[in-house]
Amino acid sequence: MAHPISAFQAAYISIEVLIALVSVPGNILVIWAVKMNQALRDATFCFIVSLAVADVAVGALVIPLAIIINIGPQTEFYTCLMVACPVLILTESSILALLAIAVDRYLRVKIPVRYKSMVTPRRAAVAIACCWIVSFLVGLTPMFGWNNLNKMQRTQELNGSHTEFVITCQFETVISMEYMVYFNFFVWVLPPLLLMLLIYLEVFNLIRKQLNKKVSSSSNDPQKYYGKELKIAKSLALVLFLFALSWLPLHVLNCITLFCPSCQTPHILTYIAIFLTHGNSAMNPIVYAFHIKKFRTAFLQIWNQYFCCKTNKNATSTTTAETGN
């Protein structure tokens, strides 16, 4: 028998659904903009598409699975584990996409002349494929054995229970905190974030040096190039900052859970941290719309071509038909 949903769970589900309804259309719009606008076809925007795909999957897959876990159905261990792993895969995919974007921006300002010959569409596609392969390996590690199955079986044996091994499906029930902290956070989240911080600091330093050079009247193009790079780098650094701001609280709570088992973390803090992680998938399209002119132009083009003008045409056609009658 399923337990009735409490008012708190209903509020949680409502917020999650709202996040999904913002995240999925927003990131589909990002992918659509890159597909239809030739100016958004370079390597950076290919990596942004990879990030958007992960964000769409968060809204369309992870959030529904998170709602299921919150309800806590009775399932077999590995069924619950399969429900818990997608968020690990997509988190790592997002981190690696952000790292690829940071490296790409660095190469743009470090070797602008040789950039196009080095960062080809084929190499960008290979890099994206590698990011997703690594993400699946990292995210599916619990399926390969680093999980809480042995611990739960020992607990069942100590309790003298010989019934079929069925559990209440919760994230912490099946996912090992040692995996989440030592492997996921200390190896695959924190070091890439710190590396990206260093890369962006170097990007801003290189751009500042170029913009501070004494320029002659014949060197307007380099100044324009680095000025544009500065604007895009600031926007993408903001995306990185929002990602870190959204994900670090949950990882800090995981560290507290592992290193201080007696510490009682208020449930409301856990829920806020979860909302931040899921809400991050809805933030990027907003950043692109307000901070990257190429995206803003593409979004307006899509709106005018497929929504605004179409609505006006339908209204005009309806008015004409009514007048004819």
φ, ψ dihedrals at 66, nearest 5°: -65, -35
Query: Which run of H or of E encompasses 75?
Result: strand 74-75
The mean pLDDT of 208-231, rounded to a whole number, is 75
Amino acid 176 reads S
Determine contact, residues 241/196, Cβ cutoff 8 Å. Answer: no
Determine contact, residues 274/11, Cβ cutoff 8 Å. Answer: no
Summarised one tens digit per residue, pLDDT across range 10-22 is 999 999 999 999 9
In the predicted model, is pLDDT for residue 216 greater than 50? Answer: no
205: exposed, middle or buried (C-beta count within 10 Å: 0-12, 13-18, 19+)? Answer: exposed
CATH topology assigned to domain 7-306: Rhopdopsin 7-helix transmembrane proteins (1.20.1070)
Summarised one tens digit per residue, pLDDT across range 74-118 is 999 999 999 999 999 999 999 999 999 999 999 999 999 999 999
The mean pLDDT of 39-62, rounded to a whole number, is 93
pTM for the structure as a whole: 0.89
**Residue 217 confidence class, pLDDT cut points 50, 70, 90:** very low
What is the rounded CA–CA span in Å between residue 122 and residue 127? 9
The mean pLDDT of 292-316, rounded to a whole number, is 77
Give the Cα-Cα-Cα angle 297, 301, 307 (nearest 5 degrees): 140
What pLDDT score does 212 carry? 85
What is the rounded CA–CA span in Å between residue 66 and residue 60? 11
Domain residue ranges of the chain, discontinuous segments joined by +: 7-306
What pLDDT score does 321 carry? 47
Evaluated on CA atoms 322, 323, 324, 325, the torsion sign reads positive
Summarised one tens digit per residue, pLDDT across range 163-178 is 567 889 999 999 999 9
Mean pLDDT (the chain, rounded): 88
Residues above pLDDT 70, as percent of the chain = 89
Top mean-pLDDT range of 38-52, 99-113, 220-234: 99-113
What pLDDT score does 224 carry? 85
**Residue 218 confidence class, pLDDT cut points 50, 70, 90:** very low
In the predicted model, is pLDDT for residue 239 greater than 70? Answer: yes
Determine contact, residues 171/84, Cβ cutoff 8 Å. Answer: yes
Least confident of 247-261, 272-286, 306-320: 306-320
Other C-beta atoms lying within 10 Å of the C-beta of residue 43: 25
